[in-house]
Structure 1
Amino acid sequence: MKKIIALTLAVSAIGASSAFAIQPIKGSITYTNPNEVRLTKAPAGSLFTHEFRSDGNHYKELYRVEPNGTVTIVDRQRLDSFDMNDMN
């Protein structure tokens, strides 16, 4: 019985990582075709950011380069919409 419970928990944990993945929004690098974005010169595991506006909000996303060159969204922050350029 303990083996069945342990196996069930392990399978649930594996599936949970994809279930809680951050989904792209309009403006994300991977919004239209996530599998088409491939970086050939960036080492696997490297991180980079991307800032954009979507639906009137300013976002900053953190991406990780996967071993096959595709990119995955690791984090997304909605930034404060106050901008000094709006003052002029």
Structure 2
Amino acid sequence: MKHVLPALYALLLLSGCEATTTVGYSPYLEPIPGSITYGGQPRTRLTKAPVGSIVPHQFIDQYGRRVYETYVIEPDRSLRLVNRRYRDFPLFDDD
């Protein structure tokens, strides 16, 4: 009995975890198909948004996972990809 309770607590804690994978910030984070900057910078420039603004973007990748990306507007009005997260189990998605 003394080994069962810690195992149950661990199971409960792990069951509450969200099934996501975070890539996080990396200077070498490359765009993937579906990213705003995949194939180059977009043709339209974000002229009204202040430099340093955050631009969120979400899409479904070729594996069916929901992808959340974060971009930052650079001084030359280009977009820099700074963060990417994956939602691995779309069946349990809130949306």
**TM-score after normalising by structure 2:** 0.61
What percentage of aligned pairs have identical amino acids?
40
Answer 1 or 2: higher relative contact order, Cα 8 Å, separation at least 6.
2
Within 2, Cα distance between the matches of 1:75 and 1:65? Answer: 13
- Structure with greater proportional helix content: 1
Within 2, Cα distance between the matches of 1:37 and 1:22? Answer: 22
List runs of 5+ in structure 2 lacking aligned partners.
1-25
Within 2, Cα distance between the matches of 1:43 and 1:84? Answer: 32
> Structure 1 stretches (4+) deviating beyond 4 angstroms?
none
**Which of 26, 32, 40 in structure 1 is aligned with 2:47?**
40
CA RMSD of aligned residues (A): 2.1
Q: Is 2:78 the counterpart of 1:59?
A: no
Count of paired positions? 67
List runs of 5+ in structure 1 lacking aligned partners.
1-18
1:84 deviates by 5.2
